[in-house]
Chains A and B, each alone.
Chain A
Amino acid sequence: MRKNARLASMAALPLTLIIGLGACLPGVARAKVCVGDDAGHELCLEAPAQRIVALSPSVTELLFAAGAGERVVGVVNFSDFPAAARSIPQVGGYDRLDLEALLALEPDLVVAWQGGNPREQVERLSRLGLPVYYSDVEDFAGIAETLERFGTLAGTPEVAASAAASLREDVATLRARYAGADPVPVFYQVWEQPLMTINGEHWISRSLELCGGVNLFADASTLAPRIGVESVLARDPEAIITGGMGDPNSTWLEAWGDFPQLTAVQRDNLFFVDPDLVQRATPRLLDGTRALCDRLEVARGRR
C-alpha cells in the first residue's frame, strides 16, 4: 500500500512541475473561458484558443476584428478580408469542408457558420472532440456581441471589447443622425437571374431602415425571396440599390432603363454599393450602412 502511494506521489511530481511551468509561461493565460453561442450551447475551453479554424469568410473577418487574427490557422474559400486572411491555409469551401485538412491543422477551436456549413460534417468534428462554436449573426447587436465572445474565446478581451464598444457607438451616432429622415421606398436587388431581393429580417433591410429607407419587400416570407419584375413595377421603388457581382459597371442597373415608368429610373436613382460591405455581417457593415445612407440622401436630394 505504502509503496503504491509513494509511486503515485513520484509520478505526480513531474506532472505538478509541468502544470506549474505552464501557469508561469509569460503571456499564456491558463484560465478557463466560457461563452454561449448562437445555437444556444454553452462552450467552455480550458484555456483561450490558440489555433482557430473559421468556417466562413464572415467568421474570419469577425475573428480578426476581435483581435484573434493571428490565432486563425485555417479558413474557407473566399476569406479575402483582411488581406492577411488570404495567406491562411484553406480547408475547403464553406459548403463542403475538407475534414482531413482541417484536422491536420490541429485546431483547438472551430467556429462554424450555423445554417451555412454542412451540419453532418460539423457534428463529426464535435464527435472527434473538437470544441465547436456555432455563429449566426443577424444584425449590429449580434456583430458586437460576437466580437466580445470571440475576444473571450481567443484571450483578447480588451481588443474585442473596444471594437464592440466603438461599433455600438458609431451605429448609435448613425441612427441618431437619420432618426427623422424622410422615408425612401427602396428595392434592394441581390441577384438578377433569377431576380432576388431580401425581406425585412435581413440585416441589409435593417441597415436601410436605420437611415430612413423602406424595404418594399420587407413582408416577404423568406430571407432572400425570388421575385418577378412585375412585383417591382407594382411597388414602384424610389431608389434601386444593388451590390451586383462586385462590379460597379454592372449591367444589372442599366437593365432597369427598360421601365421608364419607375420613379427610380425617372430620377436616375439607380445605385451601386460594394457587396462585400453590405452582404457580410461583420464590422464592415458599418461602412456599408453609411454607403446605403449616402445613396438615400442623394435620392432625397432629387425630389
Chain B
Amino acid sequence: MSKFDNIKNIIVKDQLKLDCGQTISDFPIAYETYGKLNSKKDNAILVFHALTGDQFATDINPITKKDGWWKYALGKGKAIDTNKYFVICANVLGGCMGSFGPSSLNKKTGKPYGNDFPVITINDMVNAQYFLLKHFKIEKLFCVTGGSMGGMQVLQFVANYPNASHTAVPIACTSNHSAQNIGFNELGRQAIMADSNWQNGKYEETNNSPNKGLSVARMAAHITYLSKDALQEKFGRKLQERDDLKFSFDADFQIESYLRHQGSVFVDRFDANSYLYITRAMDYFDLNKKFGGNLSKAFEKSKTKFFIMSFTSDWLYPTPENKEIVIALNSIGADVGFVEIESDKGHDSFLLNVPDFLKTLGNFLNTSYERLHEKRI
C-alpha cells in the first residue's frame, strides 16, 4: 500500500522522449481537479505548481493535511473561481506527490530510482502534463497559469502547444534562470548532497534520509522568497523566547527559529531527490536559447492572449525579467497585458493574500472569459 493509493492519476502509456535523450512510458501523472468541466469543455484552466508545490492547489491536502498552496487565489468565489472554471493541477514530473519521480519504484531493480532517475526539464514536465488534456478530451483550455516555476511552465506550454489555450497568465517568473537563481539552487542541492544520509541518492533503501541537508536547502530558499523589508518588519532583531542573547549558537533570534521551523516542516512533506531534480529543471530552463536567442520566436505561432504579473518586492524573479517576456511578445504584436503589483511580500506574493493581485487576476480571467463567449455568439 502506498500513501498515494487514493489520489487521482493517469498512467501515460505513450512514449515520452525526454530532453536528456531517454524515453519514458507507462508512468503516472498525479492530479487533482476543482470545479466542473462544462458540456462545451471550454472552461478548463490548467494550473502549474512551483518548485515545492503539488497538485493540491486549494482545500486541504489529503496527504499533508495542510491548506493547498494557492488557497487565496483558487476556490469558490475566488480569483480563479471554481464555481465557474474547471481547474486541473498536476504534480510535475520529478515530483513527490504521486507523479513519476525519483522516489518511484524502478521496475527493473525493484528499488526506488533515486539518482538513477533521468534528469528532467521544464519542457518534459509540460509535455507530461499535456496528456491530461487528452484524458479529459479538452481540445482547448481557457487558461494556463502558474507562478514562479509554474510561470515557466506556462511559457513552455504556449511555446510547445501554441493553440492549446485561449489565455496564458505567467506570474512572477522568467524566461531563463539567471546566474543568481542557479547559484541559490546549487546551494540547496549542495546542502542535500553534503548530508551523509543522502548516500548518493540511495537513501530510500535505508532508514535514513538527508533531512538536515534538505532542511538547510529550504531555509536558504525561503529567504529568497521573502523581501528584506518584510523580514525586517516581521522579525527585525527580535529574540526568541528570551530576554537577552545566550552567547551560544542556539536560535537566539526569531528569524532563526522561524527558518528552522520552515526547514523542519518541509522535510516531512518533500523528497530530497525531487528537490535536486526539480531545481535542476529550473536551472536548465532557457526558452531564449531554445529559440535561437530570440524569445519572440517561442510565441510566434500562438494567438494566445497573455497577461503577465510581477511584484515590486520580488528580487528572485524581478520585474525586469518578467518585462523581457512582455517585450518579446510585443515585438511580434502578440496580445499581451502586463502589470507590476505593489507588494512588500517578495516573490511569495503570488501565494499570499495580496488583494491587488487577486483582484486583477480574477478580473483578467472573468473579462477574458466573457469576451470569448461574446465572440462566439
Bound together? no
Residues of B within 8 A of A (CB): none
